[in-house]
Amino acid sequence: MPRSRHGSLFRRLLIPRGETLIATQTYWIGVYFCQNVNLDFRDFMLQIETLKIRPKPTMAFLICTLVVFLFNNCSKPFKANTNNGDSQSSVTPNPTPTPGPTPSPARQPTPTPSPTANGSAGCGKTGQATGALDLTISDGKTPNRSYKLMVPTNYNPQVPLPIVMAFHGLGGSSDAAIGFGIQNAQGASASAIFVYPQGSVYTGTTEDAQVLGQVGWFDQCGSVDMTFVKNILASIEANYCVDQKRIFAAGFSWGCDFITALNCCEGTLLRGISAASCTDEYNKGEVANVNDPNYYLNYYNLNSAGVCRGKGSAAIRFTHDSSGGDAGYVAPSFTHTSHLYRSMNSCSNTSTAVDSTTLTPVSSSVCSSFNSCASPFVECSYRNLGHALPANWGSDTWQFFSSFK
């Protein structure tokens, strides 16, 4: 500060008229020692004594005030005396800089999400259509098989999304699969790409004669429908950002038969399936007794060793009627299918009751989670369900699929 301002300050506030000279001398002595010598309070007062200044009580107050002022405002702080009075010499430390105001952190731009290691070739590809789309693709035999695609309107080509495929039943359509309502579960339509393939007229010989000529699925390993699905997935993965480790399939009735076959024949494609009311394709004739727990070995997509031809690690959620009221499948079929699924996932025959939605353990439930599985298998059996989907099947299916990250 300028000297004139200091003198004016003390004359106005602290110093009685007639004592101005003593006060001014005391002040500038303090400034000198503050800037040139590191002294503690005792040393400062000794220097005052050597000048023969005899402060009166009012001047003692003044001197104390000056010392406090100088201690708080000098560019060099007083040094505490640490030598117990044995020596007056000391080393002057480097001045400690007065901290300035903490600068506000610079605003960083929001990083653009980058594809994960599971992202498909379509990640980063811009300009792709979103919303509800009607598309066609070859199944290796028919050039223009149809399917419906639903891509989130908030689609980000840098963020890999799971794929959920839904397969209709006998005589159904893509619209029937949309009617399952999986995409209507909370958060589903914005968090996944949904696919609804359209079945074709069945002309095979392994099914009952009653389904020949009707719309359904060729559910054998190597069939045109296996090729159809793989071509659909390859096209989506090439054009959209897909998490290739999170491909899911859901199906009802014949659609359930098909996803069971898909899991057995092309299991490495899938992370999980939600199977409702199936399957009855146990016609290999290797086990005659329908009540034999190994009757599932008659499933025609198993190889000669009794295992799936394309074994993967898909989690399975299986729902069905438990009271024999399903007109599409006789009751033992569901028992065989349960054994088949346990075999697929290497489960034990013991299970724990779980909540149908959260799959957390409960005391009693229609759903059971089998123990010691290589990948989860949950079975939910409903009394008097008939050949139908249980209430909330769509949202429960989405909850099951979205639990796998």
If residue 45 lies in a helix (H) or strand (E), which one and from where to where? helix 41-50
What pairing do the DSSP bridges indicate for beta strands 131-137 and 215-216?
unpaired
Q: Which two tokens stand for residue 262?
A: 């898909």
Whether 226 contacts 211, CB under 8 Å: no
The residue among 393, 249, 221, 233 whose CA lies nearest residue 315 is: 249
Residue 153, classed as helix, strand or coil, is coil
Give the pLDDT score at 41.
46
Q: Which two tokens stand for residue 84?
A: 């117990």
Give the pLDDT score at 325.
87
Q: Where are the alpha helices (DSSP H) in 240-323?
A: 254-265
pTM of the predicted model over 0.75: no
Residue 274, classed as helix, strand or coil, is strand
Largest CA distance in the chain: 127
Q: Which two tokens stand for residue 135?
A: 């598309």
Q: Which two tokens stand for residue 272?
A: 């999980």
Q: Where are the alpha helices (DSSP H) in 74-207?
A: 174-178
Residue recorded with tokens 């731009």: 109
Give the pLDDT score at 311.
79
Give the pLDDT score at 89.
33
Q: Which residues of the chain have pLDDT under 70?
A: 1-117, 205-208
Give the pLDDT score at 125.
97
Half-sphere exposure of 285 (CA within 13 A, CB side): 0
Q: Residue 167 corresponds to which amino acid?
A: F
β-bridge mates for residue 135, sequence order = 147
What pairing do the DSSP bridges indicate for beta strands 367-370 and 131-137?
unpaired
Whether 397 contacts 256, CB under 8 Å: no
Cα–Cα separations (whole angstroms), residue 185 to 156, 271, 364:
20, 19, 25
**Residue 220 burial by CB count (10 A; 0-12/13-18/19+): exposed, middle or buried?**
middle
Residue 203, classed as helix, strand or coil, is coil
Cα 218 from Cα 203, distance rounded (Å): 9
If residue 235 lies in a helix (H) or strand (E), which one and from where to where? helix 224-239
Cα 318 from Cα 348, distance rounded (Å): 16
Strands (E), 253-299: 272-276
